[in-house]
C-alpha cells in the first residue's frame, strides 16, 4: 500500500510523516495512518484551517497572501502535540488551542483569516472527512491489490477440485477457483462502496456557532463553497453538526470492507490448519532463509519450534474483529441534541479513528496475504478422496429419485447407505453395490453400476461453478481500475471541488 503521507494533494500542507512507533502499531496501524493517529489528525486539522484561510481570502474577507501564509505555517511537525492535548482539556477539544497557536505563527494581518467564522466542530468534522478520504484511498488501493490476486487465483484454480464445507462439515465438491471468485466479488463490492462514499459523502463542515454562519453575514454560503473547493470535499446542503449520517456512511463502508477481508482471512486460517493443509502463506525463500536477529522466523512460536502460523490471516482478523463494535458506537452516538451534542460528537473521535486505522491495516495485510497465498491442489484432492464418495451422496440421491419416482425414498436409501459406509469404514460405492438389499433395489429400479460410478465422480457434480467464476471475473474486469483517489464530486453540483 502506498505511503499516504507522501501523496501530493493541491492545498495539502502535510509534511512527510515518519512511520509511527509502538508495540502494536506495526500490526494494527500498518499502512493506514503514517506517523500515527495523532500526527494524522493534527495535520488534517491544520489542513482544514489552512483551507478555510484560503477560502476566506478568496472571498475578500482577509488580506491578499493570508491564505498562503497560514498554509505555510500549518505543518504538523512544527506543533507540539502534547501541549495541544493539554490545552484540549480546557475546552473539550483541541481546536481552540490549535487555532490560537496557528494564528500566533503568522503576521497579524494573516491571522485574521485563521478560524474565521468557524466553530471548533467545523474544523474537527472537516478534518475527519479529510482523514477519511486519505485512508479510504489507501484502503481502496489495498482492496484493488487483493482483488487482482483473487482474480488470478480464481482463473488459475477454476478446475482445482476441493471439498466444500458447510457448518464446518464436508458438503459437496467445489473448486478453489470458486472460493477465490467469491472473495473477488466481495472485494470488488466493498471497493465500490468505498469509492462511492469517497466521491459523494465526504463534505466540509462549516456552520459557525449554531449552523447559521451569522458571523459571516451574506458571505457565508460563498465561503462554504470556496472552502469545499480548496479541500476537494463536497458542499453539503447545509451544516451537519448534529446530522451524523455522513459519519455512519463512512463507518459502514469501512465495516463492509472489513467484513469482506475478515471472511477471506477466516477461510485461509481454516484451510491452513495442519489437518486440512490446503492453502498456506508463502514464506520468503521457502522458509530456508537465515533467521533475522533474535532468531524469530515468520509465523514462528515462542514455545513450539515447528509452528508456521498464518500471520497475515491472523493479523487481518485481529483488525477486522474490532470493527463491528466501533461502527455500533458511531451509530449509537448519532442521536445528538439540538445544534451541538454534549458528548456524543466527542465520543465519535476515538472509534472513528480506530475504524480508519484498523481497516487500513487489514487492507494492507490482506493484500500481502492474497498475493503470497500458496495453494496445494494435491492436498485438496486427497482430502476429497478421503471422504470415499460421501460428499456425492446428494448426486446419487438425485439420480435415484428419477428412477425410484420419489425424492424422499431416494434420500432415505442413500442416507442408510451413508450410515453403513461410515460405520464400516467403506466407500459409499461399495455399500451401494455390495450390500445385497441395496444392490437389489437399485437393480430392480434399473440403475446400473456404471451410473453409480458416474454419480460418484466429483468432476461431474460442479454445477455452475465455472459460470460463476466467469461472472465474477467479468464483473471485476468491467469494474475497471480503482477510482478512490479521484476528487469528490460533492453534494452540490454547482460547486465542484478543485481536485485532490
pLDDT band at residue 25 using 50, 70 and 90 as cut-offs: confident
pTM, rounded to two decimals: 0.87
- Please, what is the average pLDDT of the chain? 88
Least confident of 97-111, 151-165, 365-379, 427-441: 427-441
Residue 499: its pLDDT value, please? 34
pLDDT band at residue 285 using 50, 70 and 90 as cut-offs: very low
Give the whole-angstrom CA distance, residue 482 versus residue 146. 12
pLDDT band at residue 298 using 50, 70 and 90 as cut-offs: low
Residue 23: its pLDDT value, please? 81
More confident: 124 or 494: 124
Q: Kindly list the catalytic residues.
A: 301, 340
Average pLDDT of the segment spanning 217-236:
97
Report residue 140 as a C-alpha cell.
481502496
pLDDT band at residue 29 using 50, 70 and 90 as cut-offs: confident
More confident: 21 or 479: 479
The yes-or-no verdict on residue 139 having pLDDT over 60 is yes
- What digits encode the pLDDT tens for the residues 415-455? 998 999 988 899 998 888 887 777 887 888 888 888 888 99
Average pLDDT of the segment spanning 79-104:
96
Amino acid at each position: 500500500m502506498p505511503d499516504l503521507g507522501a501523496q501530493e494533494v493541491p492545498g495539502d500542507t502535510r509534511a512527510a510523516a515518519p512511520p509511527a512507533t509502538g508495540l502494536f502499531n506495526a500490526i494494527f496501524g500498518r499502512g493506514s495512518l503514517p506517523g500515527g493517529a495523532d500526527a494524522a489528525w493534527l495535520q488534517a486539522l491544520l489542513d482544514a484551517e489552512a483551507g478555510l484561510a484560503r477560502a476566506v481570502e478568496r472571498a475578500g474577507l482577509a488580506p491578499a497572501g493570508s491564505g498562503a501564509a497560514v498554509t505555510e505555517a500549518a505543518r504538523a511537525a512544527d506543533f507540539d502535540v502534547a501541549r495541544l492535548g493539554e490545552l484540549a482539556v480546557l475546552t473539550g477539544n483541541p481546536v481552540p488551542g490549535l487555532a490560537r497557536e496557528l494564528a500566533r505563527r503568522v503576521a497579524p494581518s494573516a491571522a485574521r483569516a485563521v478560524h474565521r467564522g468557524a466553530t471548533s466542530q467545523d474544523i474537527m468534522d472537516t478534518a475527519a472527512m479529510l482523514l477519511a478520504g486519505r485512508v479510504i484511498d489507501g484502503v481502496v488501493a489495498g482492496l484493488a491489490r487483493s482483488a487482482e490476486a483473487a482474480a488470478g487465483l480464481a482463473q488459475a484454480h477454476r478446475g482445482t477440485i476441493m471439498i466444500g464445507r458447510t457448518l464446518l462439515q464436508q458438503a459437496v465438491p467445489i473448486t478453489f477457483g470458486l472460493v477465490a471468485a467469491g472473495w473477488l466479488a466481495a472485494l470488488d463490492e466493498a471497493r465500490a462502496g468505498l469509492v462511492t462514499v469517497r466521491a459523494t459523502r465526504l463534505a466540509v463542515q462549516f456552520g459557525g456557532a449554531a449552523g447559521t454562519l451569522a458571523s459571516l453575514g451574506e458571505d457565508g454560503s460563498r465561503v462554504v463553497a470556496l472552502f469545499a473547493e480548496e479541500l476537494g470535499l463536497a458542499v453539503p446542503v447545509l451544516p451537519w453538526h448534529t446530522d451524523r449520517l455522513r459519519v455512519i456512511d463512512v463507518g459502514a463502508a469501512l465495516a463492509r470492507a472489513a467484513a469482506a477481508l475478515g471472511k477471506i482471512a477466516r477461510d485461509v486460517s481454516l484451510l491452513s490448519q495442519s489437518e486440512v493443509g490446503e492453502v498456506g502463506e508463502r514464506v520468503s525463500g521457502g522458509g530456508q532463509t537465515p533467521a533475522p536477529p533474535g532468531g524469530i522466523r515468520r509465523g514462528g512460536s515462542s514455545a513450539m519450534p515447528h509452528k508456521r502460523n498464518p500471520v497475515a490471516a491472523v493479523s487481518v482478523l485481529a483488525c477486522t474483529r474490532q470493527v463491528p463494535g466501533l461502527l455500533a458506537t458511531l451509530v449509537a452516538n448519532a442521536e445528538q441534541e439540538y445544534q451541538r451534542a454534549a458528548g456524543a460528537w466527542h465520543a465519535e473521535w476515538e472509534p472513528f479513528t480506530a475504524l480508519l486505522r484498523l481497516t487500513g491495516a487489514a487492507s494492507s495485510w490482506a493484500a500481502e496475504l492474497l498475493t503470497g497465498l500458496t495453494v496445494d491442489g494435491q492436498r485438496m484432492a486427497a482430502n476429497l478422496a478421503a471422504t470415499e464418495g460421501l460428499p456425492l451422496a446428494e448426486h446419487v440421491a438425485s439420480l435415484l429419485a428419477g428412477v425410484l419416482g420419489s425424492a424422499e425414498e431416494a434420500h432415505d436409501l442413500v442416507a442408510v447407505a451413508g450410515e453403513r459406509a461410515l460405520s464400516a469404514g467403506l466407500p459409499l460405492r461399495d455399500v451401494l453395490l455390495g450390500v445385497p438389499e441395496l444392490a437389489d433395489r437399485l437393480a430392480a429400479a434399473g440403475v446400473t453400476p456404471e451410473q453409480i460410478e458416474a454419480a460418484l465422480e466429483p468432476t461431474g457434480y460442479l454445477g455452475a461453478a465455472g459460470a460463476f467464476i466467469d461472472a465474477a471475473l467479468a464483473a471485476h474486469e468491467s469494474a475497471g481500475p480503482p477510482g478512490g483517489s479521484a476528487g469528490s464530486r460533492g453534494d452540490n453540483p454547482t460547486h465542484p471541488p478543485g481536485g485532490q
